[in-house]
């Protein structure tokens, strides 16, 4: 007689009892810890940071956990004794259905943002383990039959009414549209406010605003004077033909604030093609959840808060292209590909990955090969050939990867030679604390779903090559910069594919719902710590903490600045402090004092100036015939050829 398969063997009742009451005990301990943590909110900081807590309070923590365990076990025992025929079965099912409660004790800690300031790695490791554990425990809960076969009539009616409302076909897309609009409004308001309080800079809002203004007023191709003077062009650094398209609405209000609104709107609008992509594969409910998770994704927020850039537009156009290709709307897909290429030259590399995804998943392999070929051709012609021509044969931004360039090598080809020919050295460059923190900030909100199947690795390639391979260039490995778009653009595609695979008939019951629960929960936890919507104490934008709100000093400073700006003719050439250039960049020429004065007619400086601006300000007021026109508050306006009677007082206020 063949041996009975172990999976089919009946489990001894003693084993069932131990499993059930053991699970209930763990759940009770966790709930007890959660209750104690909530009561100790004001004293948790020193306890978590230095394990400092008086002995009585520490005993209370253990007592709460023990009491919770005893209560849960006692409740289970009462059910088992009262129902002698199937009581143990009821307890077993209840313990499994409530399996996620094992993690309840960690939630108050993870949702207390103040505990983790300066302890990013600890938070991210705990959040990652929480997400992985939640996915596994949710699978246990969802694979277990309900505790009760029937519900009381009133409860059943209420449940059915709620489900009927939730299943209305108009509800999920409406929620996503409202979410996208809310995102656009929130980030438009706050980025404009940051500009108002002088939180933007020549690099990069001033550069991009000047470029679009010149594009719409007949200037040379990609002219942007803040980058390097009156003849400066962006041609060798970025080729953003999309500037001519956004220039059309920009003409209605040719100011930097318009670019900030366009950026927030397109970043929020990316939730719509993502929803359509996910709906086709997963249904409207899961698609709505994934789209909202995107809108709450912390790396998205950080990139939106740092001035204006084209790279964060990548998700919208790549997801739109993928959706149109999967729907076989090829003519519109061609338009989407052209628009994607117009955004920035490195969008061509992302199209190669998108094409590879279509090939490897079998969605549309022929179309994928065409898209990948178009991307590769554009990358070779524009990025590798045309752009170096404008930089005297040098590759733009290669300094960001100089640690991977061997002696005698130059350009991105040299970087790739090191990556493929010397993987041991490359791995050493990756194993840095800051890169590990960055990678966890990218992946923990998604509960590591993109890594659960092979094609997810393909979706990580842009982020790996463009950010993790960088050496000694911190912005590429911080979620407060635009470079997170290299990850965002593909990781959410991978999430959709992962949940679809989890829901396949051959997979365990409830696997997809378990992963979705983990995704949504981890996104909320990490967004509470690093995002901009749930709390604004820890979010970063660009190089530092992002400042929300205004003070009276901000309003006065703004009035002083614009009283001086009003005295500068609209097309006059002006040089200004780094943090003032964006405010005067809607003109043919606006330079930053950190680089040089050039042929400026006016000088607008924040006194005292930054260290890298001091020399140019002093030189202008002493040897370049600039005379102070007016000083208001922190700012000075000077004009070339103006009498220099007020120069001495300003120079005396500049430390040297």
- 3-state SS of 60-104 is HHHHHHHHHHHHHHHHHHHHHHHCCCCHHHHHHHHHHHCHHHHHH
φ, ψ for residue 147 (rounded to 5)?
-65, -40
What is the SS3 assignment for 215?
A: helix
**What pLDDT, on the 0 to 100 scale, is given for residue 508?**
61
d(CA 157, CA 323): 39
* Domain ranges, ordered by start, for the chain: 6-110, 553-652
d(CA 515, CA 529): 21
Q: CA-CA distances (angstroms) from residue 206 to 210, 218, 580, 605?
A: 6, 18, 9, 15
Q: What is the pLDDT of residues 274-330, one digit of tens each?
A: 999 999 999 999 999 999 999 999 999 999 999 999 999 999 999 999 999 999 999
User: Which residues in the chain come in under a pLDDT of 70?
Assistant: 1-8, 149-151, 156, 159-160, 163, 165-166, 505-509
Closest by alpha carbon to 346, among 374, 324, 375, 317? 375
Measured on CA atoms in the order 219, 221, 224, 228, is the torsion positive or negative? negative
**What pLDDT, on the 0 to 100 scale, is given for residue 165?**
67
Closest by alpha carbon to 288, among 535, 499, 528? 499
**What pLDDT, on the 0 to 100 scale, is given for residue 416?**
78
Do 295 and 271 touch, CB atoms closer than 8 A?
yes
Q: What is the DSSP string of 302-331?
A: HHHHSS--SGGGHHHHHHHHHHHHHTT-HH
For residue 608, the tally of other CB atoms under 10 A from its CB is 15
Q: CA-CA distances (angstroms) from residue 306 to 187, 195, 314, 325, 347?
A: 11, 10, 16, 32, 20
Q: CA-CA distances (angstroms) from residue 613 to 362, 609, 641, 644?
A: 56, 6, 21, 20
Per-residue HEC secondary structure of 547-579 comes to CCCCCHHHHHHHHHHHHHHCCCCCCCCEEECCC
Residues 6+ away with beta carbon under 8 Å from 17: 80, 88
What is the SS3 assignment for 542?
A: coil
Closest by alpha carbon to 323, among 359, 363, 273? 273
Q: What is the dihedral of CA 25, 30, 34, 36, to 10 degrees?
A: 60
d(CA 169, CA 164): 10
**What pLDDT, on the 0 to 100 scale, is given for residue 154?**
74
**What pLDDT, on the 0 to 100 scale, is given for residue 441?**
97
Q: What is the pLDDT of residues 546-561, one digit of tens each?
A: 999 889 999 999 999 9
Whether residue 655 is preceded by a cis peptide bond, meaning omega within 30 degrees of 0, is: no
Q: Which helix (H) or strand (E) holds 592?
A: strand 590-592
What is the SS3 assignment for 232?
A: coil
Residue 492 CA, chain-centre distance (Å), reads: 12
Continuous H helices in 197-269: 207-216, 243-250, 256-269
d(CA 18, CA 21): 5
d(CA 139, CA 142): 5
Do 541 and 194 touch, CB atoms closer than 8 A?
yes
Does pTM top 0.85 for this prediction?
yes
Q: What is the pLDDT of residues 446-477, one digit of tens each?
A: 999 999 888 899 999 999 999 998 888 899 99
φ, ψ for residue 627 (rounded to 5)?
-115, 140
Q: CA-CA distances (angstroms) from residue 380 to 451, 454, 506?
A: 30, 27, 43
């Amino acid at each position: 007689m063949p041996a009975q398969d172990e999976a089919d063997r009946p489990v001894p009742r003693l084993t069932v009892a131990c499993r059930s009451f053991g699970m209930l005990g763990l759940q009770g301990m966790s709930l007890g810890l959660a209750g104690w943590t909530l009561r100790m909110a004001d004293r948790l900081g020193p306890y978590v940071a230095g394990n400092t807590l008086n002995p009585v309070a520490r005993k209370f923590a253990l007592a709460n956990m023990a009491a919770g365990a005893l209560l849960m076990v006692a409740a289970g025992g009462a059910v088992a004794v009262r129902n002698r025929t199937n009581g143990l079965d009821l307890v077993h099912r209840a313990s499994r259905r409530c399996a996620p409660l094992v993690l309840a004790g960690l939630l108050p800690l993870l949702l207390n943002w103040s505990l983790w300031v300066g302890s990013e790695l600890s938070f991210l490791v705990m959040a990652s383990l929480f997400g992985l554990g939640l996915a596994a425990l949710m699978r246990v809960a969802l694979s277990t039959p309900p505790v009760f076969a029937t519900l009381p009539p009133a409860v059943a009616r209420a449940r059915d009414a709620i489900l009927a409302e939730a299943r209305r076909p108009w509800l999920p897309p409406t929620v996503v549209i409202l979410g996208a609009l809310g995102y656009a409004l929130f980030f438009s308001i706050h980025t404009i406010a940051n500009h108002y309080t002088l939180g933007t800079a020549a690099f990069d809002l001033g550069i991009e605003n000047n470029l679009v203004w010149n594009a719409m007023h007949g200037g040379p191709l990609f002219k942007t004077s803040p980058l390097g003077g009156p003849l400066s062009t962006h041609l060798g650094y970025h080729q953003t033909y999309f500037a001519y398209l956004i220039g059309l609405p920009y003409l209605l209000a040719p100011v930097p604030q318009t670019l900030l609104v366009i950026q927030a709107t397109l970043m929020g609008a990316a939730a719509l093609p993502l929803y359509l992509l996910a709906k086709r594969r997963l249904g409207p409910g899961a698609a709505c959840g994934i789209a909202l998770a995107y809108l709450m994704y912390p790396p998205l927020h950080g990139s939106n808060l740092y001035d204006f850039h084209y790279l964060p537009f990548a998700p919208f156009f790549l997801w739109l292209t993928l959706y149109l290709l999967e729907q076989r709307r090829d003519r519109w897909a061609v338009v989407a590909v052209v628009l994607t290429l117009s955004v920035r030259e490195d969008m061509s590399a992302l199209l190669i990955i998108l094409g590879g995804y279509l090939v490897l998943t079998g969605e549309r392999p022929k179309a994928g090969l065409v898209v990948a070929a178009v991307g590769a051709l554009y990358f070779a012609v524009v990025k590798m050939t045309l752009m170096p021509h404008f930089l005297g044969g040098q590759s733009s931004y290669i300094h960001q990867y100089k640690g991977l360039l061997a002696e005698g090598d130059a350009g991105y080809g040299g970087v790739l030679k090191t990556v493929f020919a010397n993987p041991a050295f490359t791995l050493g460059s990756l194993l840095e604390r800051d890169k590990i923190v960055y990678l966890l900030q990218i992946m923990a909100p998604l509960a590591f779903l993109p890594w659960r199947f092979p094609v997810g690795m393909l979706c990580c390639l842009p982020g790996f090559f463009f950010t993790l391979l960088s050496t000694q260039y911190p912005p590429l490995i911080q979620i407060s910069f635009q470079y997170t778009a290299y990850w965002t653009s593909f990781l959410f595609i991978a999430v959709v594919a992962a949940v679809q695979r989890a829901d396949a008939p051959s997979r365990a019951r409830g696997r997809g719902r378990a992963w979705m629960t983990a995704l949504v929960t981890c996104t909320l936890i990490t967004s509470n710590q690093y995002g901009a919507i749930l709390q604004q104490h820890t979010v970063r934008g660009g190089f530092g903490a992002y400042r929300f709100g205004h003070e009276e000093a901000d309003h006065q400073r703004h009035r002083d600045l614009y009283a001086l700006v009003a005295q500068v003719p609209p097309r006059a050439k002006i040089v200004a402090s780094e943090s003032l250039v964006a405010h005067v960049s809607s003109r043919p020429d606006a330079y930053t004092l950190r680089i040089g004065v050039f042929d400026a007619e006016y000088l607008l400086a924040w006194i005292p100036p930054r260290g890298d601006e001091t020399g140019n300000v002093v030189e202008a007021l002493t040897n370049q015939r600039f005379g102070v026109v007016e000083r208001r508050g922190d700012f000075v306006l000077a004009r070339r050829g103006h009498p220099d009677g007020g120069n001495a007082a300003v120079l005396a206020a500049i430390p040297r």
